[in-house]
Structures are given as C-alpha cells and as structure tokens.
Amino acid sequence: MTDIQETKQVKDLVTLGEFVIQKQHEYPGATGDLTQIFGAIKLAAKLVHREINKAGIADITGYAGQENVQGEQQQKLDVYANEKFKAALAARGLVCGLASEEEESFVEFNQPQNVGSKYVVLIDPVDGSSNIDVNVAVGTIFSIYRRVSPEDGPVQLEDFLQKGTEQVAAGYVIFGSSTMLVYTTGNGVNGFTFDPSIGVYYLSHENMRIPERGQIYSVNEGNYVHFPMGVKQYIKYCQERDEASSRPYASRYIGSLVADFHRNLLKGGIFFYPSYAGHPKGKLRLLYECNPIAFIMEQAGGIASDGHRRVLELEPTELHQRTPLFVGSPNMVKKAEDFMRAFA
Ligand code: AHG
Ligand code: MN
Ligand code: MN
C-alpha cells in the first residue's frame, strides 16, 4: 500500500521552508524575517505534536492545577505549549514580545538577540484544549504584527493592540488525524502537512479557497435559549427544508475553533460563536483567535464578521477582549448578517 505522501515524486514535494523562501522572492521588500519566525513556529509545533501524540501515555493530559487570566482551568498542554512557543520565538531574535491566552500581560523579549527586533506575536498556544483528554483535534493559532513603538525602546501594549488589518502574517497548526500548518502573509492561504517520520512540513494544500456556497453550519446549539433573536432565526433557517438552497444544512460542531474552521475552509460552511446571555461579546478572543482566523478566511475568499462589522476592522482596547464571530462561506455569513440586522 503506497503511503499517500509517496504518490508524489519527491522532486514534487515542497517543504514549508522552501515555499516561504520562494514566496519572499516573489514579493519586493519581503525579508527573511518571516522565514525565521515561521522556523520558530514550526519547531515549537513539532514539540507540541510530539506531546499530543503521546498524551495518553505521558503525563501531559489533564489540568495543570492553576487558572489562566481568563479564569479557565489551564490544561498541562496549555502550559507546555505556551512555554515552548515563547522559548522558540525569543531564541530567533526577530520578535520583541509575545501576547498569549495563557499570559495575563504581554511578555517582553529582552535577551540581547531581541533588542531592536521589529515583530510581535500573539498566540493561542492550544485551542480547544478541553478536547485533549478525549482525543479530539486541537490547534495552535498565531498572529504576527510589525511593532509600532520605537524600535530602540521596550515593546509596548500598543504593539499588540493593533487592528487585524495590520497583521503581516497569521496561521494555525491543527493537531488532528495529521498535523498541518496553514498560514497566510496576505498573498493567499497555503497548507503544509507534517511528516513526523522525517520532521518536515510538505506543501499539501496550495492556494486554499473556501467554497463560495456552504452547506455546513457550526454552532454550540446548547446555548440556543441564550442567543439573540437574529441568531435563533438563522439557525431555524439552516434547519428548514428548501431544496433550491440545499437546506436543511448539516450541523457539525467539534468544540475546537481550529478544527471547525479547518473543516469549513476545506468543505464550505459557517462557524459562529455569537454573544449569549451574560456574555455580550461571546467567548472567543479577538487578538489571538478571531483576527488570525479572519485574516486567513478573507485570504481564502470567505467572510469574517462579528455579525455586523468586519472582524479585521474592530479596534482592540485590551489584550484578552472577546468578540462574537461569524466566519465562513460568503453566502452563509451574509445570510446570518441579514438575520442579525433584521432582528437587531
Ligand atoms: P481554548 O481552548 O483556546 O480556550 O478555545 C476554546 C474555544 C474554541 O476552540 C471553541 O470553538 C470554543 O471554545 C468552544 O466553546 P464551547 O465549548 O462553549 O462551545
Ligand atoms: Mn482558543
Ligand atoms: Mn487556548
């Protein structure tokens, strides 16, 4: 039985490193900086991949016995992944600071190699971490900006509180049936599958585009009673019979944003995490979940809004602020926004 990878001639296989270098030659002004930052992300993701793949055996599942700034129980893997991404990015010397779901404030990188560096990284080290113990796909989400504060001074909060439109790169790693890294630098979206036998990420999904029309809706319907009327009406719309628009749609919800997003990116669909009773801004965090996801989705031909406004235009005011999120195939997100407007 030929391994799927080997159906391509080795000469056809492009590694992530080769691809980033190829692409940077295509864009004037591109420097090797992103190549090095991606190198750090690739390395940390390999370490997380290794821990996840022995989760059942090693002492990496379960709670770390402490809470993060969100008041959420940290999983051991949340802490492990956060430390590995922080260390790998600091070592590369191009990043002057990091903000993370697992850190209350931003972390300044002030080792000698970081002085004068011009990028900041925001990260959700493990997304969907409640799924680790039940062997369901989880992910890492990252977002990269150029700093806006003076390069000869310490990194500032303003470097992290930038609109999503200012991102220079964004991506995610999905640790599923295979481990994949998907990213954009604003020139399309490309996906790389990790081959653990030789520790290399190969280009497997070039120029990813979400299908214009989707037939999958992803939402935690357990919150239905708490949703705004527009969301309730849209969910009912998804469930009505109408052959012309291929309804009722299929309902799929994994509970890991990265996994639900990745499936919809490949197959078409909408993922939405609306506001709900007691949570006017929903659950997902703007800076290290919604902005990178929105950048990728727009680059793949989809839409990302908070139900009314483009996510990438939202003005950040604090590191861990939340926003409702509606993201996916244009026809589906626009229809959801119509219902939100009609019942506002
Ligand atoms: P994280 O594990 O980084 O806190 O993110 C979990 C998020 C997201 O991955 C997912 O879409 C959402 O939580 C699921 O929330 P519910 O369990 O409330 O549906
Ligand atoms: Mn998350
Ligand atoms: Mn997380």
Q: Ligand 1 centroid to 56 CA: how many Å?
A: 21
272 contacts 326 by C-beta, under 8 angstroms: yes
Query: Which residue is associated with the tokens 């420097």?
Result: 31
322 within ligand 1 shell (Cβ under 6 A) = no
Structure-token pair, residue 327 = 């993201």
2 pLDDT above the threshold of 60? no
Nearest CA to ligand 1 atom 2: 128
Pairing outcome for strands 216-218 and 270-273: parallel
Give the DSSP letter string of 283-318: SSBIIIIIHHHHHHHHHTT-EEESSSSBGGG----S
Q: Cα separation of 297 and 293, whole Å?
A: 6
Q: Cα separation of 80 and 335, whole Å?
A: 40
- In angstroms, the Cα distances linking 203 to 46, 180, 194, 341 are 16, 10, 9, 41
Q: Cα separation of 144 and 136, whole Å?
A: 27
26 pLDDT above the threshold of 90? no
* 255-266 pLDDT tens trace: 999 999 999 999
Structure-derived torsion over alpha carbons of residues 180, 184, 188, 190, reported in degrees to the nearest 10: -20
183 pLDDT above the threshold of 60? yes
78 within ligand 1 shell (Cβ under 6 A) = no
Pocket test for ligand 1, best of 260, 276, 284 (most atoms within 8 A of CB): 284
Q: In what order do the strands lie in the sheet with 270-273?
A: 250-251, 216-218, 270-273, 325-328, 303-305
- Ligand that lies nearest to the alpha carbon of residue 282, given by its number in the listed order: 1
129 within ligand 1 shell (Cβ under 6 A) = yes
Pocket test for ligand 1, best of 70, 130, 264, 320 (most atoms within 8 A of CB): 130
69 within ligand 1 shell (Cβ under 6 A) = no
Name the band, by pLDDT with cuts 50, 70 and 90, for residue 340. Answer: very high
pLDDT for 33: 87
Give the start-end residues of each E strand in the chain.
Answer: 63-67, 73-75, 95-100, 107-108, 119-127, 138-146, 169-175, 179-184, 189-195, 200-205, 216-218, 250-251, 270-273, 303-305, 325-328
pLDDT for 270: 98
Name the band, by pLDDT with cuts 50, 70 and 90, for residue 23. Answer: confident
Q: Ligand 1 centroid to 258 CA: how many Å?
A: 9
101 within ligand 1 shell (Cβ under 6 A) = yes
pLDDT for 30: 62
Mean pLDDT within 314-337 = 98
Q: Cα separation of 283 and 320, whole Å?
A: 10
* 284-311 pLDDT tens trace: 999 999 999 999 999 999 999 999 999 9
300 contacts 271 by C-beta, under 8 angstroms: no
254 contacts 127 by C-beta, under 8 angstroms: no
* 45-86 pLDDT tens trace: 999 999 988 766 556 666 777 777 776 767 789 999 999 999
pLDDT for 1: 44
Residue (of 259, 260, 320) closest to 287 by Cα position: 320
Structure-derived torsion over alpha carbons of residues 201, 75, 56, 218, reported in degrees to the nearest 10: -70
Q: Which residues surround ligand 3, an ion (CB under 5 A)?
A: 101, 124, 126-127
Pocket test for ligand 1, best of 174, 223, 262, 273 (most atoms within 8 A of CB): 273
Mean pLDDT within 141-152 = 96
Query: Is the alpha carbon torsion for 144, 149, 155, 157 positive or negative?
Result: negative
pLDDT for 247: 98
Residue (of 13, 15, 14, 16) closest to 37 by Cα position: 16
Domains of the chain: 3-205 (3.30.540.10), 216-342 (3.40.190.80)
Cα 283–chain centre separation: 15
Mean pLDDT within 110-114 = 88
pTM given for the model: 0.94
Choose from 27-31, 68-72, 156-160 the range with maximum mean pLDDT: 156-160
Greater confidence (22 vs 2) lies with: 22
Greater confidence (16 vs 43) lies with: 43
5 pLDDT above the threshold of 50? no
Q: Cα separation of 186 and 202, whole Å?
A: 20
Pairing outcome for strands 169-175 and 138-146: antiparallel
pLDDT for 28: 59
Least confident of 5-14, 115-124, 272-281: 5-14
Q: Which atom of ligand 1 is nearest to the CA of 72?
A: 4
Give the start-end residues of each E strand in 177-260.
Answer: 179-184, 189-195, 200-205, 216-218, 250-251
